[in-house]
Amino acid sequence: MKAELQQKLLKKYPEFFQDELPIYTGDSTKEVLENTVKLLKQEEMVLPIQFGFECGDGWYVILDTLMEEIKFYLKHKNESRDREFKYKFMWDLQRWLRLNAGKPNSWKTKLSDWIYKNAPKGKPHLQLRIDQVKEKFGGLRFYYSGGDDEISGMVRLAESLSYRTCEYCGSTKDIGYTSGWIISCCKSCHESSEQLKRYKWEPRKEG
């Protein structure tokens, strides 16, 4: 992925990345060596995930959408956690008192109200850190730490969509894959690329 697209994702979602991890941001073997030398001399800013985003520009929208949805989900999930009791037994006790209070002004009602107002709130926030983003066997791989089952579902959906999206241009029409070196690409990109023409292209079957 082009460096400018990588930087857009990093600036838009800085909370998902760790800081100051030297990595390569170029597009060829020659640039790998050149950037390695620069990194050792600390002459340039580097991306905070090892090797950067190891996939084509065509999957930028998938990654941007995925991270945007994860950010939105975490925001609301953690706002909800801020309102929850820090300790589960407090919630269980408060609920039991409320259900068995009887009279409106009974001691159970008063204790239930006191617990609700004064018991420690704020469950630990759910967090996520992106460890690696790459192409593998023609599909997107999104490796991360943290999250939950909902986020896992989002990632699986994004990864499955990559097989039906051209890694080079982002098109979703006439998508196929190359044999030998497996790449998900559209027919147009395959026909216009001398590199891709070396591999046989087959249309991806529906269903």
Helix, strand and coil content of the chain, in percent to the nearest 5, comes to 50, 15, 35
Cα–Cα distance measured from residue 112 to residue 109, given in angstroms and rounded to the nearest whole number: 5
| Percent of the chain topping pLDDT 70 | 80
Residue 98 lies in a domain: yes
Residue 70 has pLDDT above 60, yes or no: yes
CB 141 within 8 A of CB 133: yes
Work out the angle between the directed axes of helices 3-12 and 60-83 (0-180°, nearest 10).
10
Q: Is the model more confident about 103 or about 185?
A: 185
Residue 110 forms part of a structural domain: yes
Asked if the structure places residue 62 within a domain, the reply is no
The boundaries of the domain holding residue 185 are: 166-207
- Mean of pLDDT values over 79-103: 76
Which pLDDT belongs to residue 29? 52
Number of domains in the chain: 2
In a domain, 100, yes or no: yes
H helix intervals, the chain? 3-12, 29-40, 60-83, 88-99, 107-118, 149-162, 187-192, 194-197
Average pLDDT for 94-118: 78
Cβ neighbours, 10 Å, residue 6 = 19
Say if 150 falls within a structural domain: no
pLDDT of residue 207: 59
- At 158 the pLDDT is 98
Q: Is the pLDDT of residue 42 over 50?
A: no
